[in-house]
Amino acid sequence: MLLIVTGAVLLFSIRMQFMPKHLNTDYQQLTLKIEPSEFQDSGDYYTGIAQSNQEKFSFIIPKTKNRIHLSSTQNTYLQTTDFELEGIKGPTNFAETNFQKYFFAKNIYRRLKINSFKQGYDNPTNFAEWLSLLRYRLEKRLQKLPPTLRFNALSLLLGAKENDEQTKAYLNDFSKLGIIHLFSLSGMHLLLIIGFLRKLCSWTRVCTIETLESFLFALLPIYCILVGSKTSITRATILVLVKIGFSKLKIRKSSTEIFAISLLIGLIIDPKCLLLLGGQLTYLLSFALVYLHRLSIFKLSIVINLLCLPLIIFNNFEINLATFVVNILIAPVFEYFILPSTIFVGIFGNSMPSINRILEFTNRTIYSICHQISRIQFLQLATGKFLLLTVILLLCCGLVYISDSRYKKKCCQWFVIIFCLNLLMNKIPLTGQVTLIDVGQGDSILITTPILRKTFLIDTGGKLHFGHQRVINYNVDKATIPYLKSLGIGHIDAVFLSHQDSDHIGDLKPLLEHFPVRRVYFGIGMEHNPKIKKVLLPFVNQVAMKTVRAGDVLNFGNFQFEVLAPFKPGIGENEDSMVLKTTINHKSWLFTGDLPRDKELEVVKKFHPQIDYLKVGHHGSKTASDPDFIRAIHPQIAFISVGRKNRYGHPNKETIETLEKQQVKILKTSEYGMIKWNYWFNDYNIETFLRK
């Protein structure tokens, strides 16, 4: 068994080395088949996955002039000559969600923006296309169910999900509680259904077990293709087919050998299946269940959760302390109620409305309880990112624990020691930092202190919206919050709002919704700004709101900020920008928001600040960084937070020349990605994500 598993892992490594990283083919025109199950109506855009004869693409289509109508009986095609083609963008921040890796696992290397197209239809030409259309029809049928039943049926029976806020809320709650594997197409439901069918055949004697196995051997591959060949369902299907195949051939194999052969076959079919957390967990859980099937549900839940813990922390940087208890309580409810009721409504649809109403009420009650538990902040533990070596050691401890009873006690001891040491390193860091988070065309600066850590965020970043086109895809969700959690940060002590512009505070609302913040500071007068009041009103009972003006000093233990602007009340325009000065490790920093030139000179005239590091105002626009201002403060390094290929031409050539004349070193997020200034004792270094 060990030999087979080793061979499988080696096969995975070798195959990955020869996988193409990108395709260089240029196209003058494209004919694309739309995958109905991957197509989404995302507000002002259509998004999804499309297939040409040579390549698979992720696409985005503005809806301003285009409308797409999918057919449930024919393939939908798009013909286009007006498109923009680019590679899938990788992360530019540490711990940022890696969409490039996600699409690479799906064999997608490039993204299409389609400006105009001609739409056409064609009859399916093969069995796979017919199954794809059947899946689309089934999705449409299940979408008529009440909300929770619809969510269950789509996710558990077809591995699909809707792009609506309710679905996102369910997935977010289950992810926080560590039970997301139950409510996705995890393969578990397939094994439960097969077990139920075996018992049904035994009780009713409708058919023999041998006949049932022959039926499953023919049907399971079709079902696997129907649901999109998800890694988890593919793994479960292969496992069942291998087991049935050996049984038919009268070849005796142990359960561990069957698992190892299934892993080998799975890696041959999809060598990228172990790249993502879902694939890693599905094979790890399958391996654990081979050894632990005789344990009680209580012990099984504890051991499995501990085994999955290293991988979850490595990818998500947090755990929920209620996970073990919730799994123990939810697992039987899922097995004996949620899954059977989902299969029931999947078969009968809305033909029994009275029963559906009862099931909907019960499911909604269960999900409401899960939601309330997921909102308990002290149960969410931001562990920080563990080293890869740590994850490997923890996994080894877990695997030895379940496979060799002689070393159980030692494995438990080492697991606890390694886990606690890494947790302490993340929670009580020896270094602090000033970090420019790459939020594109916007500002967001994180400041942390060492040992008894304090955490501050100056602006949140956000997107400026032009016309009516808008995509809700917050940088704070994909970059800022993951980075905070990767450091082991569980709350922010203070958020400073420099002024009202969306590229500075547009992501404030999702930040307050998804991450604990203790105080929010803004310039005097901004409390009367309708835009600010609308965002902050829902959080007045959980976050302290404070106004500041020039001359204020904000003390946070051994750390303080001096407020150098605004001088008078304002509503949060550029000229009202909050200006903060702080000294860290004997180095002075100045953060100026979008302060214009005349106000910069006013700050110099009143406070005469001497600065080592400047966060350049207004993303390097010529409206800021007055030559007299730069000459007066004379910084060593100027940091510019700016978007790549932004429509404003920032940073302006005039600003760059002003800085260069004063021999100021320039670091831009558009060039370097995330920029970190790490400090400890009397030393420091600068670390960037994209370049040295």
Model pTM score: 0.89
Q: What is the DSSP string of 24-75?
A: ----S-EEEEE-GGG-EEETTEEEEEEE-SS-EEEEEEESSS------SSSE
Answer yes or no: are the C-beta atoms of 514 and 481 closer than 8 Å.
Answer: yes
Task: Write the burial class of residue 601 (CB in 10 Å: 0-12 exposed, 13-18 middle, 19+ buried).
Answer: middle
Rounded Cα gap, residues 464 and 471, in angstroms: 11
Residue 84, beta-bridge partner list: 113
Answer yes or no: are the C-beta atoms of 514 and 477 closer than 8 Å.
Answer: yes
274-288 average pLDDT score: 82
Give tens-digit pLDDT for 217-229. 888 898 888 888 7
Distant-in-sequence, close-in-space partners of 169: CB < 8 Å, separation ≥ 6: 371
Residue of 557, 649, 654, 550 lying closest to 595 (CA atoms): 550
Q: Which two tokens stand for residue 512?
A: 């307050």
Give tens-digit pLDDT for 431-466. 999 999 999 999 999 999 999 999 999 999 997 654
Q: What is the DSSP string of 393-435?
A: HHHHHHHHHHH-GGGHHHHHHHHHHHHHHHHHHHHS-S-EEEE
Rounded Cα gap, residues 648 and 39, in angstroms: 33
H/E run at residue 465: none
Distant-in-sequence, close-in-space partners of 544: CB < 8 Å, separation ≥ 6: 518, 519, 520
Q: What is the pLDDT of residue 360?
A: 94
Q: In 10 A of CB 172, how many CB atoms?
A: 14
Q: Which two tokens stand for residue 102?
A: 């996600």
Distant-in-sequence, close-in-space partners of 646: CB < 8 Å, separation ≥ 6: 440, 441, 619, 670
Give tens-digit pLDDT for 115-139. 889 999 999 988 888 988 999 999 9
Rounded Cα gap, residues 455 and 633, in angstroms: 26
Q: What is the pLDDT of residue 690?
A: 92
Distant-in-sequence, close-in-space partners of 494: CB < 8 Å, separation ≥ 6: 456, 457, 517, 518, 519, 520, 521, 554, 556
Share of the chain above pLDDT 90, in %: 48
Q: What is the DSSP string of 277-310?
A: HHHHHHHHHHHHHHHHTTS-HHHHHHHHHHHHHH
170-176 average pLDDT score: 84
Mean pLDDT of the chain: 87
Could you tell me the pLDDT band of residue 45, with boundaries at 50, 70 and 90? confident
Rounded to 10°, the helix 188-204/339-348 angle is: 80
Q: What is the pLDDT of residue 404?
A: 74
Q: What is the pLDDT of residue 296?
A: 67
H/E run at residue 349: none
Q: What is the pLDDT of residue 466?
A: 46
Q: What is the pLDDT of residue 473?
A: 65
The yes-or-no verdict on residue 556 having pLDDT over 80 is: yes
Q: How many residues does the chain have?
A: 692
Indicate if the alpha-carbon torsion angle 585, 586, 587, 591 is positive or negative: positive
Could you tell me the pLDDT band of residue 469, with boundaries at 50, 70 and 90? very low
Q: What is the pLDDT of residue 155?
A: 85
- 453 secondary structure, DSSP code: -
Q: Which two tokens stand for residue 191?
A: 């094994």
Q: What is the pLDDT of residue 467?
A: 45
Answer yes or no: are the C-beta atoms of 159 and 228 closer than 8 Å.
Answer: yes
Indicate if the alpha-carbon torsion angle 556, 562, 568, 570 is positive or negative: negative
74-98 average pLDDT score: 91
Give tens-digit pLDDT for 145-157. 999 999 988 888 8
Q: What is the 3-state secondary structure (H, E, C) of 561-627?
A: EEEEECCCCCCCCHHHCCEEEEEECCEEEEECCCCCHHHHHHHHHHHCCCCCEEECHHHHCCCCCCH
Return the ∠ at Cα 472 (arms to 688 and 373), rounded to 5°.
Answer: 90
Q: Which of helix, strand or coil describes residue 315?
A: helix
Which residue did the predictor score with more confidence, 385 or 286? Answer: 385
Q: What is the pLDDT of residue 78?
A: 92
The count of C-alpha atoms lying within 13 angstroms of the C-alpha of 256, restricted to the half-sphere facing its C-beta, is 10
Residue position matching structure tokens 């995958």 = 35
Q: What is the DSSP string of 474-534?
A: -HIIIIIHHHHHHTT---BSEEEE--S-HHHHTTHHHHHHHS-B-EEEEETTGGG-HHHHH
Give tens-digit pLDDT for 327-363. 888 878 887 888 888 888 988 888 888 999 999 999 9
How many angstroms separate the Cα of 647 from the Cα of each of 85, 181, 272, 390, 615?
19, 42, 38, 44, 21
